Amino acid sequence: MRKIVFTNDKGGVGKTTTVANLAVGLSTQGVKTLVVDMDPQADVSFALLAQRPPEAGGGYLPPTIYALLTGHYQMDQVILPVPRYPSLSLVPANADLADAALKISRRPTRLRRLLQDLPDGLFDVVLIDTGKGLDPLAVNALAGADEGVVMVAPGRLELDAIARMQEHVSLVRDEVLLQSDVPAIRGILLTLADPFSVTKDTRMRIRERYPGLLLETVIPKNNDLQKAIGRARSIFEVAPESKGARAYQQLITELGL
Ligand SMILES: Nc1ncnc2c1ncn2[C@@H]1O[C@H](COP(=O)(O)OP(=O)(O)O)[C@@H](O)[C@H]1O
Ligand SMILES: [Mg+2]
């Protein structure tokens, strides 16, 4: 079972868009996929379910990742099959997750253990979506995965962002998982890329500073991608011939999923 976290401590760099599209793409190809939503904004839960899980006080409360992390539930009580897509399941989030940060600050490997306890063969791939910052949620998300894909949108500060994420990953590897060889950075993914502007320079700079890490796949800035996620649909359904759909298919292949 591959466990991949999509990370950058900033918002708006296409993490959720990438997780949602990969998940739908993989599951429709028969890959048994689990998405874990580790962002209190719950954007990927919305993208896959087309509705936001209710928050505390909102009547009947189906268990979410909050319940799992804070210890009241087991994994099989929280995993939700996503009705629209075969082979796709979700551990949903809602805004309550923000409160979990404090409670799990001393349990940085909680998610990792929960994922390790999943029965063999239940899932082929776990995709973890993260929010902003390096809080205990992000630490749990990083420690839960074996591989990290660092998401980068071209701009002046992209090299700093990569350096920061590399530091976060090393920190989790050395201080949390103690002398582990995971998580390892599987690749740097350039997204929201405008083919007419800085992308070429950016690629060169990243390749120079991080040899071997930049993925060949570039996710273009593509209106169809934005439209699809806004309608809680994947690009493969909304515009299967678009550049965005081709790019995400290429990413599936390049990651060997
Ligand atoms: N490749 C893309 N082309 C155009 N718009 C995109 C693309 N990727 C993401 N977006 C849009 O950018 C915004 C932020 O993307 P999102 O995936 O939510 O980022 P993050 O999860 O890192 O905060 C969203 O409005 C989304 O629709
Ligand atoms: Mg997001």
Task: With CA atoms as reference, report the closest residue to 203 among 159, 251, 252, 244.
Answer: 159
Residue 125 and residue 88: Cα distance in Å, rounded?
Answer: 10
Q: Which residues pair with 125 in a beta bridge?
A: 2, 33
Q: Which of the ligands is closest to the CA of residue 13? A: 1
Residue 217 and residue 246: Cα distance in Å, rounded?
Answer: 10
Burial class (CB in 10 A: 0-12, 13-18, 19+), 181: exposed
Ranges of residues in the chain with a pLDDT under 50 are none
Ligand 1 atom nearest to CA at 18: 17
Top mutation candidate among 218, 227, 229, 248 for ligand 1, by most atoms within 8 Å of CB: 229
Residue 109 and residue 177: Cα distance in Å, rounded?
Answer: 8
Residue 42 and residue 212: Cα distance in Å, rounded?
Answer: 33
* Tokens 């409360």 -> residue: 61
Looking at domain 2-254, which of 3.40.50.2300, 3.40.50.10490, 3.40.50.300, 3.20.19.10 is its CATH number?
3.40.50.300
For ligand 2, the distance from its centroid to the CA atom of residue 66, given in whole angstroms, is 17
Query: Which residues fall within 8 angstroms of residue 115, CB to CB, at 6 or more apart?
Result: 1, 3, 36, 75, 126, 144
Amino acid at 232: A
Q: Is 221 in the pocket of ligand 1 (CB under 6 A)?
A: yes
48 neighbors 103 (Cβ within 8 angstroms): no
What integer pLDDT is reported at residue 61 of this predicted model? 62
Q: What is the tens place of the pLDDT at every residue in 229-244?
A: 999 999 999 999 999 9
What integer pLDDT is reported at residue 239 of this predicted model? 97
Ligand 1 atom nearest to CA at 223: 4
For ligand 1, the distance from its centroid to the CA atom of residue 257, given in whole angstroms, is 22
- Region of 156 (left: φ > 0; alpha: ψ -120 to 50; beta: rest) is alpha
Ligand 1 atom nearest to CA at 39: 21
Q: What is the DSSP letter of 82?
A: -
Query: Which residues fall within 8 angstroms of residue 243, CB to CB, at 6 or more apart?
Result: 220, 222, 224
For ligand 2, the distance from its centroid to the CA atom of residue 158, given in whole angstroms, is 17
Top mutation candidate among 130, 226, 238 for ligand 1, by most atoms within 8 Å of CB: 226
For ligand 2, the distance from its centroid to the CA atom of residue 16, given in whole angstroms, is 4
Interhelix angle 136-144/158-171, nearest 10 degrees: 80
127 neighbors 164 (Cβ within 8 angstroms): no
Residue 45 and residue 42: Cα distance in Å, rounded?
Answer: 5
Query: Which residues fall within 8 angstroms of residue 76, CB to CB, at 6 or more apart?
Result: none
Query: In residues, how long is the chain?
Result: 257
Q: Which of the ligands is closest to the CA of residue 43? A: 2
Amino acid at 66: Y
For ligand 1, the distance from its centroid to the CA atom of residue 17, given in whole angstroms, is 6
For ligand 1, the distance from its centroid to the CA atom of residue 178, given in whole angstroms, is 34
Query: What are the residue boundaries of the structural domains of the chain, listed by start?
Result: 2-254
38 neighbors 143 (Cβ within 8 angstroms): no
